[in-house]
Amino acid sequence: MIISGQLCFVAGYVLSAELKNTALLKQELLAIEKRLDAKLKALDEKLERLEKLESALESAAVSASVPVVPGNMKAAEMQEITLTQTSEKPELTESKSPHDHANLSYGNNGFEFRTDDNKFSLAIQNRIQTRYSNPFDSDPRSIDDLERDESSFRIRRARTRLRGHAYRPWLKYYLQYDWSQPVLRDLNLTIDKFKWARVWAGRGKVIYNDERVTSSASQQFVNRSIVNDIFTVDRQQGVQILGNLFPGSWHDVSYYAGIFSGLGVGEGSNDDEHMMYSGRIQWNALGGEMPFSQSDLEFHEKPALSFAFAAATNRSRCTAFQTDSRSCRNLPGFETGQDGQYRINQMMEEARFKWQGFSLQHEMHWKEIIDTLKDQDDPARKTNLLGGLIQAGYFPHYIIPSIPRNLEFAGRYAFVDPNVSLSHNLQEEISGVMTYFFNGHLNKVNFQVSHLIVQNQSDQRFWLQWDLTF
């Protein structure tokens, strides 16, 4: 029994060893097979390469009238090295740097191209604004304007915007061209490295009051109020410095200061030695800087409030400005000026508030025009103008859920007194607007009704507008 048991043990041991050896042998055979496959693949590639080399040698021999000996493997190998080196040269020449490749995306600024290393970016955006107006489109400034009958469709704005950065993410550029006028509206650079001090240079809007600085694409109403044309500082060519101090605190302050040629964007140089100067100080009373955009589309969970004061002074032949090739113009009642004839001093105070779908905005303007060519004791030497507006809007969905979420109703009152020394010349606007936002300010439809009063006579104006940005 003992011997039989020992024999069984030995037999089992031998069988186990044989099984282990068989498994090892199988693994070794598989490894050898893989190596052979790799060798065969390498040989196939080498044969294919040699066939190409042989064909290249034959072509070269024919062109050089030199016989080729296919069996001369050393010569073929030398030719292979030469051809390999030659073929590698274009690869070195065409080597790509990280910023040779750009990524394409789409966002709020349109189609954006950005290099892999983020040294360069370019966003392209287009905008179309179509409007129907009845019985006229522009703001009336006289009784004759009220009596116009010019019901019409028009392309009110058609613009292309280019923006991005170059070499550094904080070196930003912006360009905007208007095809409907046409005119180059904006072209500027901004050094945006520090939030407390940014430098802007070129042509564009003077950061003076919200109604003008806010893009017409981001307005609450179809168009700006009757106050805008009279008191706007508009677009100028020059330099601005701006920043935000103590962000998030109770004394959160934004400041803006600039110096400009003072003739708008339609003139290449100044008309005299005097420059335009402007400044704006803004207190973000509840902490947080509100962007220049109307309507509370963001639905502020916490209230946002800001107060601002701005002033500007200029001496030129202009009494008003518009973004056009003829940007320097004169208000009604003023003659075309000579170089440096009019000294303009103006001030503005502003308040803005947004909270849970509700928005409120107020501006009050004062402007003094001094005709320096008139005598000091001439009562027509100085003209003082006053103007102001208040507007409010709300998305009623938040109290009546059955009303669409993207529908806003807003109302506005604005007035202009073109000469406080005269009576019965007040201009007034009472407007209501209904806006449906398909995609925020990027795609919206407005219907606005305005009751316009000039020298105690009035008329109604109707606007229907579709504003699309893509």
pLDDT digits (tens, 9 = 90+) for 350-386: 999 999 999 999 999 999 999 999 999 999 999 999 9
- Residue 17 pLDDT: 45
Can you read off the two tokens belonging to residue 81? Answer: 């090295």
DSSP 439: B
Decide if 113 contacts 122 (C-beta within 8 A): yes
pLDDT band, residue 95 (cuts 50/70/90): low
DSSP 316: E
Q: Which residue has the higher pLDDT, 119 or 37?
A: 119
| Chain center to CA of 229 | 24
Decide if 203 contacts 219 (C-beta within 8 A): no
- Residue 100 pLDDT: 61
Can you read off the two tokens belonging to residue 406? Answer: 């993207």
Q: Which residue has the higher pLDDT, 98 or 336?
A: 336
pLDDT (average), residues 266-270: 88
d(CA 409, CA 303): 20
- Residue 58 pLDDT: 63
Assign residue 440 a region (left: φ > 0; alpha: ψ between -120 and 50; beta: otherwise): left
pLDDT band, residue 75 (cuts 50/70/90): very low
Whether residue 84 has pLDDT greater than 70: no
Q: Which residue has the higher pLDDT, 82 or 212?
A: 212
- Residue 235 pLDDT: 97
Beta bridge partners of 160: 126, 177
Per-residue pLDDT tens digits for 158-199: 999 999 999 999 999 999 999 998 999 999 999 999 999 999
Per-residue pLDDT tens digits for 118-159: 999 999 999 999 999 999 999 999 999 999 999 999 999 999
Decide if 105 contacts 112 (C-beta within 8 A): yes
Q: 3-class SS at 270?
A: coil
Decide if 301 contacts 356 (C-beta within 8 A): yes
Distances (CA, A) of 363 to 75, 244, 308, 424: 88, 22, 9, 23
Q: 3-class SS at 139?
A: coil
DSSP 97: P
Q: Which residue has the higher pLDDT, 68 or 228?
A: 228
Q: Which residues contact 102 (CB under 8 A, 6 or more apart)?
A: 113, 114, 115, 116, 120
DSSP 11: H
- Residue 35 pLDDT: 76
% of the chain surpassing 90 pLDDT: 74
- Residue 340 pLDDT: 94
Whether residue 91 has pLDDT greater than 90: no
> What does the CA dihedral 274, 417, 391, 212 come to, rounded to 10 degrees?
-20
- Residue 65 pLDDT: 45
d(CA 34, CA 438): 62
d(CA 49, CA 175): 54
Decide if 185 contacts 265 (C-beta within 8 A): yes
Whether residue 416 has pLDDT greater than 60: yes
pLDDT band, residue 39 (cuts 50/70/90): confident
d(CA 208, CA 215): 13
Beta bridge partners of 444: 437, 467
- Residue 74 pLDDT: 45
> What's the whole-number average pLDDT of the chain?
87
Per-residue pLDDT tens digits for 207-256: 999 999 999 999 999 999 999 999 999 999 999 999 999 999 999 999 99
Q: Beta strands 443-454 and 427-437: pairing type? A: antiparallel
Residue whose pair of structure tokens reads 């800001």 in the numeric block: 306
Distances (CA, A) of 250 to 280, 285, 306, 362: 19, 6, 11, 21
Can you read off the two tokens belonging to residue 155? Answer: 């392309």
Does this model's pTM top 0.85? My answer is: no
Q: Which residue has the higher pLDDT, 333 or 442?
A: 442
